[in-house]
Amino acid sequence: ARLVSPVTTGAQSTQVLVEPPWTPPVLWDQVTLTCKGSGTNGDITWYKDKQSWGQKGADSFTVTESGSYRCYRSGSGRSPTVRVSNDPLVLQVPARALLEGDTVTLRCR
C-alpha cells in the first residue's frame, strides 16, 4: 500500500468572501468582495477576467462591473474565481457549504 499525504487546504488557502452572502452574486446587489488568507495585507493582487486589475493591495472593494474575479495573496496563493453577473433574474442560495438535509432559504430576485 502507498501512503498519500492529504492536501492541506485549511487556513493556508486564499478565499474571496462575498457580501451580501448569496450565490450567484449579482451586480445590482452592491456586492463587496474581500480577499481572505494568510500573508501580508499589502501583498494582494486582484484579477478580473484573468487579467491583473486596478484594485492592487486592497483587501476589499465594491464591484461596479460584472465579470470573473479572483485574488492572489502572497503567502496563501490564488483564490477560486467568483463570477458576478448582471442577470436581471436570479435564484440565489446562501453562499456557504450546504449539506443534504439542511433547511435552505432560496431567493428569487
- Name the residue among 35, 45, 27 with its Cα closest to residue 83: 27
> What is the assigned CATH class of domain 15-108?
mainly beta
pTM, to two decimals: 0.80
- Do 86 and 58 touch, CB atoms closer than 8 A? no
**Per-residue pLDDT tens digits for 7-18:** 444 445 899 999
- Name the residue among 109, 102, 33, 106 with its Cα closest to residue 73: 33
**Per-residue pLDDT tens digits for 37-49:** 876 666 889 999 9
Integer Cα distance of 101 and 90 in angstroms: 23
**What is the pLDDT, as a whole number, of residue 42?**
61
